[in-house]
Amino acid sequence: MKNLNTMTLLAAGTCAMIAASAANAAMVAQWDFQTTTNGGTAVAAAPATPRLFVANFGSGSLYLDGTNGSSDFYEPASGTTNTEINGFGGTALNATGSMSTVTTSPSALAVVGGAASVPAGTFGANGKSMVFKFSMTGMGNLAVSYAVQRTASGFTTQQWDYSTDGTNWSSAATITGIQASFAAGATPANVVSSLSVASGLNNAATAYMRVTFTGATSATGNNRMDNFQFNADAIPAPGALALLGVAGLVGSRRRR
């Protein structure tokens, strides 16, 4: 009887531990494009805009340099003519915790139309992709949120895909209806918070999220993005699940 009581208590404790773990949403990585205290990369205006951004909080990297499945975004050696990336003024929308709420330019990343190309009416950055790389070890149910706005001739669509190898991709979400101002429209204004990958990246040692831009109709048309948050739920350790199984088996025998 003593052993059965002990196992019953163990089962209850294990259930409580798993429930607490599953409910513990945690930050995976954040990019506010400003905070460098933890080694993160700050945005700068073209022609000095970085093409690799280390997460300002958490752990991860954002690539626009042709590596890790990303496209090589063009940036001129001087000036801004035909640049495909730039740094503009940002927003405090979707900034939480220690994320910066400074909005003075440059404080947000902009992907820009770039040079006109063939066929007529298309521009260089259309069809190009930036890629986030991070770890989901011990984590599940990834959710992504960020603030975004577009100019009148900026990209109309952002296609999000995910991968565990940076080569084979699955669709996550198609973002359209991007508004003209961070401060205008729905509440919360222009914060994309419904983008999620239910299970495709659960516990992936290396995870990738790719964003492909289409629909720009001028060289300077752009999407401006700020305050990316990648959050996920802690996954119970395999040992905890095994203990729950053993405790459940003992409990079943006791009821017999």
pLDDT of residue 8: 43
Percent of the chain with pLDDT over 90: 73
Return the CATH number at 124: 2.60.120.260
pLDDT of residue 3: 52
Is 16 within a domain? no
> pLDDT tens-digit profile of 200-247?
999 999 999 999 999 999 999 999 999 999 999 999 866 544 444 544
Q: Which of 250, 221, 227 is nearest to 92 (CA)?
A: 227
* Number of domains within the chain: 1
Q: Are 4 and 61 in contact (CB under 8 A)?
A: no
Sign of CA dihedral 54, 58, 59, 65: negative
Q: Which of 227, 183, 246, 215 is nearest to 7 (CA)?
A: 246
| Mean pLDDT score of the chain | 86
pLDDT at residue 20 above 80?
A: no
Structural domain span for residue 146: 25-236
Is 170 within a domain? yes
> pLDDT tens-digit profile of 53-67?
999 999 999 999 999
Q: Classify residue 240 as exposed, middle or buried by CB count within 10 Å of its CB (0-12, 13-18, 19+).
A: middle
Is 152 within a domain? yes
Is 48 within a domain? yes
Q: Which of 142, 160, 131, 143 is nearest to 204 (CA)?
A: 142
d(CA 246, CA 144): 36
